[in-house]
Amino acid sequence: MTKLTNYGNLTNYWLVNTKGQPEPVVGQYVTVVQYSDRWSGTIHKVEFYKSGARKGMVRRIMFTRDDCKRVDSYGMSDTQYYECLTVEPKEGVDSSGDKWSNHHWANRCRSGKFRLDKYTYLIIGLRENYHDFSF
């Protein structure tokens, strides 16, 4: 478990450290937890380990960020409602030389969680957005 100071709020800490997330499948929703913000996406590709002790387990996933629009009128509040649409990956070469241009890759770390970088985690099976206005 990581320290609470790595997260901008208690909700994100609970989300990241909850056990029992489902195995990712294509078409499933994800929520990306970035310090105190959250944004949603949809899984488009799942890659598995091909050999070794983890053979058959999910190694990494490719997902796109959903196109979300806020639909409430609460302003800078903690209660926020969003309407989200799935964005399909676009063919084309991006800066990393990959054939998809509007995607993100998340790798599975030793704890079993998926993450983009040291403190940016994915929650599998949840589609949630939250913007913290205090920054």
Per the domain annotation, does 90 fall within a domain?
A: yes
Length of the chain equals: 135
Per the domain annotation, does 129 fall within a domain?
A: no
Give tens-digit pLDDT for 80-103: 889 998 888 776 555 455 554 567
Per the domain annotation, does 57 fall within a domain?
A: yes
50: containing domain: 4-124
Per the domain annotation, does 103 fall within a domain?
A: yes
Higher pLDDT, residue 54 or 1: 54
pLDDT score at 25: 93
Per the domain annotation, does 135 fall within a domain?
A: no
Calculate the dihedral angle through the C-alpha atoms of 111, 47, 117, 88, rounding to the nearest 10 degrees. -130
Q: Name the pLDDT band for 48 (thresholds 50, 70, 90).
A: very high
Contact 122, 84 (CB under 8 A): no
In three-state secondary structure terms, 11 is helix
Give tens-digit pLDDT for 2-38: 566 667 777 877 787 777 788 899 999 999 988 888 8
Per the domain annotation, does 115 fall within a domain?
A: yes
Domain count, the chain: 1
Per the domain annotation, does 16 fall within a domain?
A: yes
Q: How far apart are CA 130 and CA 6, in angstroms?
A: 17
